[in-house]
């Protein structure tokens, strides 16, 4: 008898900005958005927030993940206690992934060893170029601190990722950063266009226009294909899931190759839906940065917030959101006849009442 496959567990993710404090003043920082929290919860309040999240995951049989962010989460004196509590939850199976987005200046050997002991799955360090270009965006000395932190983390056995914010002023720095990252043992490099919010809006003239983005991707493809074969998996992971790479491959007559890259990928554990809580440093809970408040923790529990929020329930219905995105796609002239529509669905840009709205990929050059 063939046994039926186990039903996938629902998931939940906590993106927790545990402090508004930061030791840097990056000119493109999203924290400069008007109305962002400028106060932090007290130690006991933070412990209550984490306890409430773990209780929500356990009571609802959710596969949970957590990302500690900020500001710079390493600046909080009680960060090690919060991290160890999360690690204990990971050991008993409540949490399956712990991530950290932090600054390198405050990461010493003791912290690196703690992250290794707690089996942190990923710590992301931002690098926006080699020394001159990076420090122009992030402040003098940041590049050297980042490189020292990466080496410290790799030595301790902690998986490290690099995050790169792409602008007109540093687009020529991407491949040097990728080559450096590979040499230093970084497992992943994420490249994202400048987000037009907060400090990013103030320097919005630095965002690449669609045709500029096409030229960037084309040059990146040439550079990636020049990497030694030992980095083939890195090259495929970099190209994968990017709808604009799909369009570029189509224009180069290589769409089937892109299709193969995406169909041969290793799949993550499936789930039948997930809810995301973004929590600001003062306890405000939103589903995403640009969406409306759903409550405050620990004043409200995560269970109470979820139970009273039609928006959270709507956002975790991935199948329905995909249907709505496809409806939008069929109504957009440049998307409806797009040869790579299957790889590039319109993204949700906001919610009015309980109805989500979608827009075409703003990087598209069609």
Cβ partners under 8 Å of residue 226, min gap 6: none
| Full set of structural domains in the chain with CATH | 11-209+269-310 (3.20.20.70), 317-359 (no CATH)
Handedness of CA 358, 297, 163, 264 (dihedral sign): negative
Residue holding tokens 């983005």? 213
Beta-carbon neighbour count of residue 136 at 10 Å? 16
For 154-185, the pLDDT digits (tens) are: 999 999 999 999 999 999 999 999 999 999 99
Phi, psi of 163 (to 5 degrees): -110, 130
Report residues of the chain scoring pLDDT below 50: 1-2, 4, 265-271
pLDDT at 192: 93
pLDDT at 272: 58
Q: What is the 3-state secondary structure (H, E, C) of the chain?
A: CCCCCCCCCCEEEEEEECCCCCCCCCCCCHHHCCCCCCCCCCHHHHHHHHHHHHHHHHHCCCEEEEEEECCCHHHCCCHHHHHHHHHHHHHCCCEEEEEEECCHHHCCHHHHHHHHHCCCCEEEEECCCCHHHHHHHHCCCHHHHHHHHHHHHHHHCCCEEEEEEECCCCHHHHHHHHHHHHHHCCCEEEEEECCCCCHHHHCHHHCCCHHHHHHHHHHHHHHHHCCCHHHHHHHHHHHCCCHHHHHHHHHCCCHHHHHHHHHCCCCCCCCCCEEEEEECCCCEEECCCCCCCCEECCCCCHHHHHHCCHHHHHHCCHHHHHHHHHHHHHHCHHHHCCCCHHHCCCEEEEEECCEEEEECCCCCCC
pLDDT at 194: 93
Query: To the nearest whole percent, how much of the chain has pLDDT over 70?
Result: 96
Token pair of 362 as six digits: 């703003």
For 203-250, the pLDDT digits (tens) are: 999 999 999 999 999 999 999 999 999 999 999 988 987 889 999 999
pLDDT at 2: 46
Rounded to a whole number of angstroms, the distance between the first and last alpha carbons of the chain is 52
Cβ atoms of 189 and 159 closer than 8 Å: no
The model's pTM: 0.92
């Amino acid at each position: 008898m063939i046994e039926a496959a186990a039903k996938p567990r629902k998931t939940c993710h906590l993106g927790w900005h545990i402090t508004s404090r930061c030791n840097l003043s990056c000119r493109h920082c999203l924290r400069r958005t008007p109305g962002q929290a400028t106060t932090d919860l007290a130690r006991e309040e933070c412990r209550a927030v984490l306890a409430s999240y773990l209780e929500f995951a356990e009571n609802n049989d959710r596969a949970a993940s957590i990302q500690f962010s900020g500001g710079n989460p390493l600046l909080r004196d009680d960060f090690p206690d919060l991290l160890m509590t999360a690690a204990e939850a990971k050991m008993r199976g409540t949490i399956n992934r712990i991530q950290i987005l932090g600054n390198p200046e405050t990461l010493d050997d003791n912290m690196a060893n703690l992250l290794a002991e707690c089996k942190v799955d990923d710590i992301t360090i931002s690098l926006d170029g080699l020394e001159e270009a990076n420090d122009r965006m992030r402040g003098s000395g940041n590049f050297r601190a980042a490189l020292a932190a990466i080496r410290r983390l790799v030595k301790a056995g902690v998986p490290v990722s690099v995050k790169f914010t792409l602008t007109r002023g540093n687009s020529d720095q991407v491949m040097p950063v990728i080559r450096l990252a590979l040499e230093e043992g970084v497992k992943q490099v994420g490249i994202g266009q400048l987000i037009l919010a907060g400090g990013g809006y103030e320097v919005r003239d630095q965002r690449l226009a669609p045709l500029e983005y096409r030229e960037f991707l084309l040059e990146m493809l040439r550079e990636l294909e020049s990497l030694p074969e030992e980095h083939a998996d890195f090259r495929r992971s970099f190209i994968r899931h990017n709808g604009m790479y799909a369009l570029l491959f189509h224009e180069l007559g290589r769409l089937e190759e892109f299709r193969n890259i995406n169909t041969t990928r290793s799949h993550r554990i499936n789930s039948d839906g997930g809810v995301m809580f973004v929590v600001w440093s003062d306890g405000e809970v939103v589903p995403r940065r640009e969406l409306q408040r759903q409550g405050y923790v620990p004043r409200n529990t995560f269970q109470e917030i979820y139970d009273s929020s039609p928006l959270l329930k709507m956002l975790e219905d991935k199948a329905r959101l995909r249907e709505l995105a496809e409806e939008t796609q069929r109504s957009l002239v440049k998307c409806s006849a797009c040869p790579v529509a299957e790889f590039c669905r319109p993204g949700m840009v906001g919610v009015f009442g309980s109805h989500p709205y979608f827009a075409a990929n703003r990087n598209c050059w069609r």
